[in-house]
């Protein structure tokens, strides 16, 4: 965006103050960063909801696989435990689906809509840049005739060049002013736009995990026997594994 000195076809006159150009680049740079952050957040939110759904679907699949295990036919207590687990997993999956739908509607879709405005913004910046190049080109043309000897033909060409310059200069100044006025307003609007979405995200997570606390609290109460320490369970599993290894059909040759 910045003016490049000594470039062929560039005017000697500084047609855009350096402070104005710096202001423009600063404001546009903030919007470019906002665009990238919006894209990244939308992508991460989509990955998160997809992972959530995959987790709860897998949990339901595991509980169904356990229900079809022959052990459930032989041990009523185990069947009751797995049935309680299956009920809990299905409840979890239902609440997870509600949470994901809420996030999709109140967070991901607004992010997508917000990101859709950036192509128009970037096109407006490109039009401003093209207007600036036209402005510089015609300003250089005017300066060329101003430096020549003031003969009749030269004065006529100088007058024509100035007439060509005027609407191009006005067009650039209008585009430049509009962008300098509206880019900061657009950047500031992100707060009011996204705050309801992020509040909705937090509420959805609070509701979901509150329900999970209830679901697994109910599941804990339905367990036939109190939980055993991990160390005790590991010792029991190792003892059973040793018994299995002692069988001739699995013994090493």
CA atoms of 249 and 242, how far apart (whole Å):
13
Q: What is the mean pLDDT of residues 42-55?
A: 96
Contact (CB, 8 A) for 180 and 23: yes
The answer to the question of residue 3 being in a domain is: no
The answer to the question of residue 123 being in a domain is: yes
The answer to the question of residue 56 being in a domain is: yes
The answer to the question of residue 202 being in a domain is: no
pLDDT above 90 (res 75)? no
pLDDT of residue 96: 96
Tens of pLDDT, residue by residue over 188-201, are: 999 999 999 999 99
pTM over cut 0.85: no
CA atoms of 81 and 74, how far apart (whole Å):
13
Least confident range of 165-179, 204-218, 221-235: 221-235
Tens of pLDDT, residue by residue over 141-177, are: 998 888 888 888 888 998 998 999 999 999 999 999 9
Dihedral sign for Cα atoms in the order 56, 59, 61, 64:
negative
pLDDT above 50 (res 3)? no
What's the number of domains the chain is made of?
1
The answer to the question of residue 79 being in a domain is: yes
The answer to the question of residue 223 being in a domain is: no
**What confidence category does residue 253 fall into, taking pLDDT thresholds of 50, 70 and 90?**
low
pLDDT of residue 110: 96
CATH for 157: 1.20.1270.60
User: How far lies 223's CA from each of 69, 83, 231, in Å?
Assistant: 19, 11, 19
The answer to the question of residue 221 being in a domain is: no
* Whole-number percent of the chain with pLDDT over 90: 66
Q: What is the mean pLDDT of residues 124-139?
A: 95
Query: Domain residues for 127?
Result: 25-194
User: How far lies 63's CA from each of 4, 182, 219, 227, in Å?
Assistant: 67, 56, 13, 19
The answer to the question of residue 216 being in a domain is: no
């Amino acid at each position: 965006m910045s003016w490049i000195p000594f470039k062929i076809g560039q005017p000697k006159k500084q047609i855009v103050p350096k402070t104005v150009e710096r202001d423009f680049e600063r404001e546009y740079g903030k919007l470019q960063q906002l665009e990238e952050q919006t894209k990244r957040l939308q992508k991460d939110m989509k990955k998160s909801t997809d992972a959530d759904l995959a987790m709860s679907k897998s949990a339901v699949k595991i509980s169904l696989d356990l229900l079809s295990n022959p052990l459930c036919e032989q041990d009523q207590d185990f069947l009751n435990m797995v049935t309680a687990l299956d009920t809990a997993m299905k409840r979890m999956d239902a609440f997870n689906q509600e949470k994901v739908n809420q996030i999709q509607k109140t967070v991901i879709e607004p992010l997508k809509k917000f990101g859709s405005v950036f192509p128009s913004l970037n096109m407006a910046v490109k039009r401003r840049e093209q207007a600036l190049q036209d402005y510089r080109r015609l300003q250089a043309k005017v300066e060329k005739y101003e430096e020549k000897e003031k003969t009749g033909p030269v004065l006529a060409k100088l007058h024509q060049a100035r007439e060509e310059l005027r609407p191009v200069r006005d067009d650039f100044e209008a585009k430049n002013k509009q962008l300098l006025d509206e880019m900061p307003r657009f950047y500031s609007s992100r707060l009011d736009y996204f705050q309801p979405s992020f509040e909705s995200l937090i509420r959805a997570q609070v509701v979901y995990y509150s329900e999970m606390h209830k679901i697994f609290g109910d599941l804990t109460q339905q367990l036939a026997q109190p939980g055993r320490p991990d160390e005790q369970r590991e010792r029991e599993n190792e003892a059973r594994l040793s018994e299995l290894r002692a069988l001739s059909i699995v013994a090493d040759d």
